[in-house]
Structure 1
Amino acid sequence: MSVLTSLKLITGKRPVSASPIVLRRNKMANKIAEQLALCEAQKSGEQYQPKVTRTYTNKQTGERMTVDTVKRVRQWFYISPEGKINLTLKYGSKVLPLNKKGANAIELASGDELIATLKNLQTAVLNGDLDEAINEVSEMTRNSFKK
């Protein structure tokens, strides 16, 4: 009992779920991390192939099977006709608006600048700088399902 008396004991309750804003931030930060890993793999001349576990039912036997497959990660960046790299941020399949004027891409000069920008964007997302844009796209997606 002497060990317990030396500790600060409290009545704690674990939260059931995080707020929707935090969940959206984490989702966006994870997707930016995937893009960052994709860029770094391309820079070193490798292929980025993350594994994902998929479960399916065998049609002939009815047995559920689990298989590790390669997850397809689509690039958020492309080369413009001028030779610059354009980076768009996506939440789901929708492109995020980056300002009120309608800009939706970031123009970059090199791959190193792309990697640095993705790292900065990941920090900005976790700090809540893109919450308004993420919420706007999320609302549009949610409203498209309503009749």
Structure 2
Amino acid sequence: MSTLDGLKLSTAKKPAHIPAVVFRRNKLSNKLWEQIQLAKSQIDGTQFVVKKFRSVVDKETGLRKQVEVPKRLREWWFKNEQGKMCVNIKYGTQMIELAKGKYSIEVDSASALIKALETVKQAVECGELDTQINNASVNVRKVFDK
């Protein structure tokens, strides 16, 4: 056991179910990471591609197989009338209300955009936007309940 002496051992087990709040928080955090990487790649002049798997039927054999395809990423930011960049934080198709009646963050430059997205990502991971995420999730589900 001398090899394991340098490690901190614990009795923790992986939970069987992740709470819905944590699942939604992680989902939004991953989307924010994609937006941060997309903004960084645009500043650097490179292309950022996220791959996903899609199931297709092979026409020759008729068998279903998994094919890796690029995921379509849309920018969450835009330029307003004054020429400043604004970014909306989205959960699915719903924009998250960051403060009463305010849905976007206004920044001066692309580097400030990255900092703003990273700040929002930290707030999401700390749980500061849990009620807004929950409200957006309820609104997204309403579309499917029709």
Normalised to the residue count of structure 1, the TM-score between the two structures is 0.87
Partner residue, 2:76:
76
Partner residue, 1:104:
103
Equivalent-residue separation in structure 2 for 1:10 and 1:95 (angstroms) = 41
Partner residue, 1:57:
57
Structural RMSD (CA): 2.2
Sort the Cα spacing of 1:12 and 1:142 in 2 relative to 1 into closer, same or farther, 3 A. Answer: same
Equivalent-residue separation in structure 2 for 1:52 and 1:114 (angstroms) = 26
Partner residue, 2:129:
130
What whole-Å deviation, never above 9, does each CA across 1:7-35 have from its counterpart, x for those lacking one?
x9987654211100000000000000000
Q: What letter matches 1:96 in structure 2? A: I
Equivalent-residue separation in structure 2 for 1:133 and 1:81 (angstroms) = 27
Partner residue, 2:139:
140
* Cα distance, 1:125 vs structure 2: 0.3
SS of the equivalent of 2:97 reads coil
What whole-Å deviation, never above 9, does each CA across 1:107-130 have from its counterpart, x for those lacking one?
110001001111111110000011
SS of the equivalent of 1:52 reads strand
Sort the Cα spacing of 1:10 and 1:76 in 2 relative to 1 into closer, same or farther, 3 A. Answer: closer
SS of the equivalent of 1:30 reads helix
Sort the Cα spacing of 1:61 and 1:24 in 2 relative to 1 into closer, same or farther, 3 A. Answer: same
Partner residue, 2:66:
66
Sort the Cα spacing of 1:43 and 1:59 in 2 relative to 1 into closer, same or farther, 3 A. Answer: same
Partner residue, 1:48:
48
List runs of 5+ in structure 2 lacking aligned partners: none
SS of the equivalent of 1:124 reads helix
Task: Report the number of matched residues.
Answer: 143
Q: What letter matches 2:77 in structure 1? A: F
Normalised to the residue count of structure 2, the TM-score between the two structures is 0.87
List runs of 5+ in structure 1 lacking aligned partners: none
* Cα distance, 1:81 vs structure 2: 2.1
